[in-house]
Amino acid sequence: MKTRLIWILGVLVVIFVALQFTNPSRTNPPVVHDFLAAETPPPPIAALFRGACYDCHSYETQWPWYSHIAPVSWLIANDVQGGRRHLNFSNWPVDDPERAAKRLENASEELGYKEMPPAKYQAIHPASRLTTDQRQQLIQWLDSEAKRLKTVATSGK
């Protein structure tokens, strides 16, 4: 029984070590058009975006030490890729105010339904834990900025 347990443990260690060679890439491509630079929210709002959104929704991801250890690395890389596909603050449509307004409206809606930031992310990232007041501040700013961009879009046509 004891030798069997040692063999099983040895096999598990070999598998764990082998998995480390399958880590996904953790890249941060160059920022194309930064959302915070383009829309210039007030500093407290910008800080909330950086703390709650930018790790998954920009090319400025801070990759923590555990993002280098499989199989956790796969989950984190997949979440970041999905976040960037859904909304990317590093590739902001500065030349298309209507599209930018739509993105802001979608972000406001997700914050309002408390879908973002996800609970699993908040569990290990304290800066992403938004109070009710902070969430409301972000929603109000997003809604007012979306309205402003829609005005810009209609006046430019």
Determine how many CB atoms are found less than 10 A away from the CB of residue 108. Answer: 19
Q: What is the pLDDT of residues 76-125, one digit of tens each?
A: 999 999 999 999 999 999 999 999 999 999 999 999 999 999 998 999 88
Residue that wins the pLDDT comparison between 142 and 13: 142
pLDDT of residue 24: 75
Q: pLDDT averaged over the chain?
A: 90
Determine how many CB atoms are found less than 10 A away from the CB of residue 149. Answer: 22
Half-sphere exposure of 146 (CA within 13 A, CB side): 16
pLDDT of residue 156: 65
pLDDT of residue 157: 58
Please say whether the beta carbons of 33 and 88 come within 8 A.
Answer: no
Cα separation values, 89 from 31, 50, 57, Å: 9, 10, 6
Indicate the pTM of the whole model.
0.83
Q: What is the pLDDT of residues 140-156, one digit of tens each?
A: 999 999 999 999 888 86
